Amino acid sequence: MKIINLGSKEEACHYVANELLKQIISNKKSVLGLATGGTMVRVYEQLVNLIRINEIDLSEITTFNLDEYIGIDYDHPESYYTYMHDVLFNHLPTWNEEKIHLPNGSAENLQEEIKRYEDLLDKEGPVDVQILGIGENGHIGFNEPGTSFDSLTSVVGLTQSTIEANSRYFETKEEVPEQAISMGIHSILKAKRIILLAYGPKKADAIRKLLTGEITTDLPASALYNHPNVEVILDNNAYLSEKEEI
């Protein structure tokens, strides 16, 4: 695992956007693993600019998102389907909707849906570059502490900590869905390359725990130590607590 502190949020986001751009340029049929959340908003803004400047055609790019809420429709303002279209897909005309994949949290049969998604990942994958944020409790995707590192795409319950953190996007905490479909930890680790991005003081504690090197299901992100090609991109604030201890 490579740990890279780029100092500022802007530099950290630019690094991730630029790595995605480089992947797309190197193979116009790339498979990208995408994440949502506040962390990625600036990455996608920068990626949109880079793709526009370089006039890149995205029509053969495949994308897989990590997760989607259960209990709200795909066109709900806070669904991850809406987020991805608002922040990334609607800004560039050449995406091919048929190659954009998110789990369907409003599927009638959720067991069929999780199998469909994992099968599709296996068929279209492996993901060339998977980008990840990290939860304040160390989750990746919506794989909360305690999740087995062998997990595949499944229906997951969100912890109170995640519900609190995500309530900033909903009018009341009660509106935050309590379940989601998430790619599992094993599904995530199938990617060829993984870039985890964390910035801001709220992520410092999870990053400090990650950088101890202990591999434990209490900190789902520590499963990334079992992957040969992982970069952790940080700003000074996310890295701060580690530096203070040194």
Indicate which single residue of 33, 138, 141, 220 sits in contact with ligand F6R (rule: CB under 6 A): 141
Given 5, 14, 139, 242, which residue is catalytic?
139
Binding piece for ligand F6R, criterion CB under 6 A, among 14-22, 128-136, 216-224, 226-234:
128-136
Which residue's CB is nearer to ligand F6R, number 49 or number 159?
A: 159
Indicate which single residue of 14, 139, 190, 209 sits in contact with ligand F6R (rule: CB under 6 A): 139
CB 132 within 8 A of CB 36: no
Binding piece for ligand F6R, criterion CB under 6 A, among 127-135, 149-157, 186-194, 216-224:
127-135
For the bound state, the minimum distance from the C-beta of residue 86 to ligand F6R, rounded and expressed in Å, comes to 14
190 binds ligand F6R (CB under 6 A): no
Which residue's CB is nearer to ligand F6R, number 35 or number 50?
A: 35
79 binds ligand F6R (CB under 6 A): no
103 binds ligand F6R (CB under 6 A): no
SS (H, E, C) the chain: CEEEECCCHHHHHHHHHHHHHHHHHHCCCCEEEECCCHHHHHHHHHHHHHHHHHCCCCCCCEEEECEEEECCCCCCCCCHHHHHHHHCHHHCCCCCHHHEECCCCCCCCHHHHHHHHHHHHHHHCCCCEEEECCCCCCCECCECCCCCCCCCCEEEECCHHHHHHHHHHCCCHHHCCCEEEECCHHHHHCCCEEEEEECCHHHHHHHHHHHCCCCCCCCHHHHHHHCCCEEEEECHHHHHHHHHHC
67 is catalytic: yes
139 is catalytic: yes
Indicate which single residue of 5, 23, 30, 39 sits in contact with ligand F6R (rule: CB under 6 A): 39
Active site residues: 67, 137, 139, 144
Residues that bind ligand F6R (CB under 6 A): 35-39, 66-67, 133-135, 139-142
